[in-house]
Structure 1
Amino acid sequence: MGPRFHTDLEAVYRDMRRDHGPVVPVTLPGEVPAWLVIGYRELYQVTTDPVLFPRDQGLWNQWDTLPEDWPLRPMIGTRQPSVYFTVGAEHRRHLAMVQHALETVNHIELHRTAEEIADRLIDSFCGAGEAEIVSGYAKPLPLLTLARILGFPDSDGPELIRFLTDMCDGGPDALAGFERALALMQQLVATKHAAPAADVVSAMLGHPEEFTDEAYALNLMAITSAGFLPTADWIGNSVRLMLTDDRFAASLTGGRHSIPEAMNEVLWEDTPTQILAGRWAARDTRLGGHTIARGDMLLLGLAGANGDPAAHTHDSPDGLRNSNFAHFAFSHGEYQCPFPAQEIAEVIARTGIEVLLDRLPDLELAVPPSTLARRPSPFLRGMTVLPVRFATTPPYGGH
């Protein structure tokens, strides 16, 4: 943590590599030790070897040292029955159910829903000539769109945004945010048991494999939390890039670097999920020049690995990744973000950026780029605020 982590992340990782190599000893809140893997090759090794580096929290050699109110408990998890916190055959059983449900999402309808919500959000500020689009657009758009396809009532949106933000930022309100968000998940599962509909939660309940209501609620939590802030940060970071980088500024008026290229560049250079917990060593081993003891936790340094100089050997002359999709933004291997979830996130993010730039074509930053601040989270990398200005325009809704 600390200012440099948010203002000069590239230099922080460069210093880490110089001092420690591709695997870095770090401490989590409360002086809890862990290893941060920031080497591209080393992260590939960890994520493709679920035998040596399983996602089995039960192996962790630090459980006995943790206070009950440790703020990262929701992100590390215990042996919770969900796609994110199970291993082996049980993980594959949960994954099959979640993927089945996500594959029922019609992408044409998803695009239409995202477009409708985007227009409604823009209508609320387009007459003002200025807006703060993290809180006013980038955050509510993916959450409200996800809530609609999952089956939540629109009225749950504001609370879900607040609770999930608290949980994912890993601060003092993380545990309370987790409990309050989970209560909404449990309520929705009960509602869909009683009255199933054409939504993702009903599809989960309709899968032939049976699960407990606790498992359905925790899987819903995994889908919602993984889909919300990372997608919001994908939108915010992409808009920031297009408004501040000369290579993309022309695209606002139809230049050669497109929205998809900006979005892919962000997945490489401004990874929304920059550190992911975690893996645990099944036995004593060596990695990146360090001895990793059985039960040690490894944090997946997705942003660090993406920035590894060893992964930058085939960039285009202008430094852009263009059609190179070999980043770690969605993690990798058996536990990577399910492909249907990646597709849903891309539809929401791309629709949101397209509608914003279509409705407000002269959009520009309202503050110097150097004054923009990052949210104080080591795990998720997004803007705290993104103030913009534009020519006023009437709302589509006509009010």
Structure 2
Amino acid sequence: MTNPDIWPTTDPTTQGCPMGKEPIAMHGPRFQQNPAQLYRQMRNEYGPVAPVRLEGDVPAWLVLGYREIHQVESNPELFARDTRRWNAWDRVPENWGLMAFVGYQPSLMFTEGAEHQRRTGALGDSLDEVDQFELRGICEQIADELIDSFAGSGEADLMAQFAHPMPLRVMARLFGLGDDEAAQLGQDLTDTVASDDGVGAYQRIQERMKRLVERKKENPGADLPSRLLVHPAGMTEEEILQDLLVVLTAAQQPVAYWIGNAIRLMLTDERFAVTLAGGRRSIGQALNEVLWEDTPTQNFIGRFASRETELGGQRIHTGDMLVLGFAAANTDPQVRPDAYSDSVGNNAHMSFGHGEHGCPHPGPEIGAVISRIAIEVLLDRLPDVALAADPDALVWLPSVWMRGLAALPVQFSPSYIVGS
């Protein structure tokens, strides 16, 4: 825990707060157990922008309002992305758990202005060259292979055995990696957040990406690294390495939880039960509704004020951190007064961000293809799949940042293996 004696006498997130009200801790069981309820409380007490304390008692602002998040993301000069602007670095505890989100790295995640546009343009152009028919074929093949591994058993944990490996293996294929390399990469990604060797695992991932870029420079192919190497933006090998890591991490957990959350919805909500067997319309509806109600990326660090300003009735100081509350914004009653009232066919959610630093096109579209085909193949192969646990007993991961299930146990009639 930080020592409050070393903090400046003026704490930016307490100025302007209603008398007697303290910032709310954005961590711990209270936040993890029922975040939606806490968002409502924070909105009632503070309005669309609330003072919070992150892990280590570090101050920040949580942007809860849909319009306010849109305002922040539409003004990258005022609400900038480079974390070196932060005014609270002297308050960060040693071995801070959120350093991976905030520590500056030379990737497109932290670039601004013309440099950001150069690198996101190169990435977007290179992703645009992915053939959609080929992508669908890759997704179908990988989904079949994953289902083959458990189809004969009559039971599975769809998070560990299906949702998590699906986007990783698809992206590895788009990177020009083999399945063995994808498996090793997946283990390292898991170890970065669920192992005592997190730093070592991240270093191994960087080394794998470095070797991949070097290999593609010598032997280019029809893959993302090869396209980036010859793009007119003139990206360096280090820039490509860093930006490939961004693409990989952005695709892995969010898409895995998108798949898992949609399957959970389809297995537990009677609105979707009728069309499970062979139905296609319900898959798209479930995927879209999840982005409104259980979006995988709940909160995102963040933006940093480049000068004094006001947002949502709060005075924001130069260098203040703003955490973008995507989940709270998607249920903002000022925009959606009735839950579920307009989720079908409405793509105006904040789940992929917005503006210059939103998920670059066609990233969301590729994620949607992976998710939809994963569920289509699953329902084709296992039409009687059913939840093997009480819906209320399903455990959500204890994370402020991501919304996903720890496990999704299902049962089904043992099925054949494709090609057997």
TM-score bin (small chain): over 0.9
Please tell me whether residue 85 in structure 1 is matched to residue 138 in structure 2: no
Deviation at residue 104 of structure 1 after TM alignment: 1.3
| C-alpha separation in 2, matches of 1:6 and 1:194 | 47
Of 93-102 and 14-23, the range deviating more from structure 2: 14-23
| C-alpha separation in 1, matches of 2:291 and 2:69 | 16
| Unaligned ranges ≥5, structure 1 | none
Larger radius of gyration: 2
| C-alpha separation in 1, matches of 2:303 and 2:280 | 41
Please tell me whether residue 103 in structure 1 is matched to residue 128 in structure 2: yes
Which residue of 218, 222, 226 corresponds with 1:198? 222
* Aligned residue in 2 for 1:58: 84
**Pairwise mapping of residues 79-158 of structure 1 onto structure 2 (< 5 A)?**
80-158=105-183
* Aligned residue in 1 for 2:264: 240
* Aligned residue in 1 for 2:29: 3
* Aligned residue in 2 for 1:276: 300
* Aligned residue in 1 for 2:16: none
Q: What TM-score do you get using the length of structure 2 for normalisation?
A: 0.89
Q: Deviations over 1:142-171 (max 9, x none)?
A: 10011001112211223322333454x599
| C-alpha separation in 2, matches of 1:196 and 1:140 | 26
Amino acid at match of 1:29: E
* Aligned residue in 2 for 1:250: 274
User: In 2 relative to 1, CA 170–274 (structure 1 residues): closer, same or farther, beyond 3 Å?
Assistant: farther
| C-alpha separation in 1, matches of 2:30 and 2:139 | 35
Q: Deviations over 1:329-385 (max 9, x none)?
A: 000111110121111111111000100011111111000011111122211111110
SS of the residue 1:45 aligns to: helix
* Aligned residue in 2 for 1:221: 245
Query: What count of residue pairs does the alignment treat as equivalent?
Result: 394
Of 128-137 and 190-199, the range deviating more from structure 2: 190-199
* Aligned residue in 1 for 2:3: none
Please tell me whether residue 385 in structure 1 is matched to residue 410 in structure 2: no
Deviation at residue 212 of structure 1 after TM alignment: 2.5
Amino acid at match of 2:132: H
Deviation at residue 172 of structure 1 after TM alignment: 6.7
User: In 2 relative to 1, CA 336–277 (structure 1 residues): closer, same or farther, beyond 3 Å?
Assistant: same
User: In 2 relative to 1, CA 4–162 (structure 1 residues): closer, same or farther, beyond 3 Å?
Assistant: farther
User: In 2 relative to 1, CA 41–323 (structure 1 residues): closer, same or farther, beyond 3 Å?
Assistant: same
Root-mean-square deviation (CA), in Å?
2.0
Please tell me whether residue 338 in structure 1 is matched to residue 363 in structure 2: no
User: In 2 relative to 1, CA 302–175 (structure 1 residues): closer, same or farther, beyond 3 Å?
Assistant: farther
| C-alpha separation in 1, matches of 2:194 and 2:155 | 31
Deviation at residue 71 of structure 1 after TM alignment: 3.0
Please tell me whether residue 359 in structure 1 is matched to residue 377 in structure 2: no
Please tell me whether residue 296 in structure 1 is matched to residue 320 in structure 2: yes
| C-alpha separation in 2, matches of 1:85 and 1:15 | 32
Please tell me whether residue 321 in structure 1 is matched to residue 343 in structure 2: yes
**Equivalent residues of 1:165, 1:229 under 8 A apart:** no
Which residue of 70, 79, 99 corresponds with 1:73? 99
SS of the residue 2:298 aligns to: coil
Amino acid at match of 1:35: W
| C-alpha separation in 2, matches of 1:221 and 1:348 | 19
User: In 2 relative to 1, CA 152–256 (structure 1 residues): closer, same or farther, beyond 3 Å?
Assistant: closer
| C-alpha separation in 1, matches of 2:233 and 2:148 | 43
| C-alpha separation in 1, matches of 2:357 and 2:276 | 36
SS of the residue 2:40 aligns to: helix
Q: Deviations over 1:241-299 (max 9, x none)?
A: 00011111112035695100110000110001111111101111121222111101101
Amino acid at match of 1:114: C
Deviation at residue 68 of structure 1 after TM alignment: 6.2
User: In 2 relative to 1, CA 196–69 (structure 1 residues): closer, same or farther, beyond 3 Å?
Assistant: farther
Please tell me whether residue 159 in structure 1 is matched to residue 181 in structure 2: no
User: In 2 relative to 1, CA 121–170 (structure 1 residues): closer, same or farther, beyond 3 Å?
Assistant: closer
Amino acid at match of 2:248: T
Of 53-62 and 342-351, the range deviating more from structure 2: 53-62
| C-alpha separation in 1, matches of 2:208 and 2:97 | 20
* Aligned residue in 2 for 1:286: 310
SS of the residue 1:125 aligns to: coil
**Equivalent residues of 1:243, 1:365 under 8 A apart:** yes
Amino acid at match of 1:161: G
| C-alpha separation in 2, matches of 1:255 and 1:117 | 21
SS of the residue 1:10 aligns to: helix
Please tell me whether residue 16 in structure 1 is matched to residue 38 in structure 2: no
Deviation at residue 173 of structure 1 after TM alignment: 5.7
Deviation at residue 44 of structure 1 after TM alignment: 1.0
Please tell me whether residue 33 in structure 1 is matched to residue 59 in structure 2: yes
SS of the residue 1:311 aligns to: coil
Deviation at residue 198 of structure 1 after TM alignment: 0.9
| C-alpha separation in 1, matches of 2:108 and 2:221 | 23
Amino acid at match of 1:129: G
User: In 2 relative to 1, CA 257–96 (structure 1 residues): closer, same or farther, beyond 3 Å?
Assistant: closer
Tell me the percent identity.
48
